Amino acid sequence: MYCRIFAIALTANTVMGCAMMQDFATLRSVDFQLEGIAQGRLAGIDLSRARSSSDLSISDGARVESALMRGELPLSFQIQVRAENPIRNRVAARLLRLQWTLFLDDTETISGQTAPGYRLLPGEPTTVPIEISLDLLEFYEPNSQDLIELAISLAGAGAIPEKIAVRAVPTINTRLGAITYPGPIRIASDSVGRTFVAQN
């Protein structure tokens, strides 16, 4: 009787193990890529139409100088990440969270994680927003002109996506619970983050 129960348990574990491997294979094949930048604001100034500092008004410049005098220069924007579960997968993946670290011009800055609940249907790209809010003075020298140009290049109308990259660790929900990538991936505009890389 004991042997029979053990055999049933072993079979169940084997089936569960195979299911987990299939789910993990699905996780590995989900592609992530930086799709765009939106909602850029510097010290409360809307950057959506600015391509250079000359597009800002005198009052905008005064707001930047005022922020610098307070010892801060807040920049916020939204990174739009394209997540695609390839059509060859026959099951949906649910993204529970995306733990991320932001790199600006190869400088490591802040970290965080996305809200849960994104369902990734096979063959249907999904936009996952990452809300960014940081103080530029924590990472750069307080030169107002240089920082304005940097902010516009990152989050303005003339944003340069190549200046931004995200190191991320996705976690998805499966039939057997949550599965997390064993290492981070790089999400950028010039590459697809789907292969595992060593943690630095």
How confident is the model over 33-67, as pLDDT tens digits? 999 999 999 999 999 989 988 999 999 999 999 99
Judge whether 194 lies within some domain: no
Judge whether 61 lies within some domain: yes
Judge whether 192 lies within some domain: no
Judge whether 198 lies within some domain: no
**5 and 148 in contact (C-beta within 8 Å)?**
no
Judge whether 149 lies within some domain: yes
Judge whether 200 lies within some domain: no
Query: Which residue carries 């850029």 as its tokens?
Result: 40
Mean pLDDT for the stretch of residues 94-107? 91
Distance of CA 156 to the CA centre of its chain: 18
Read off the pLDDT of residues 13-32 as tens digits, 9 standing for 90 and up: 444 455 555 555 555 578 88
Judge whether 51 lies within some domain: yes
**103 and 167 in contact (C-beta within 8 Å)?**
yes
Q: How many domains does the chain have?
A: 1
- In the predicted model, is pLDDT for residue 146 greater than 70? yes
Pick the residue with more confidence: 75 or 157?
A: 75
Residue 139: Cβ within 10 Å count: 14
Supply the pLDDT for residue 195: 33
Percent residues over pLDDT 70 in the chain: 80
Judge whether 92 lies within some domain: yes
DSSP 8-state assignment for residue 183: S
Q: What is the mean pLDDT of the chain?
A: 81
Pick the residue with more confidence: 147 or 1?
A: 147
Supply the pLDDT for residue 192: 53
Domain enclosing residue 38, as ranges: 2-187
Pick the residue with more confidence: 146 or 6?
A: 146
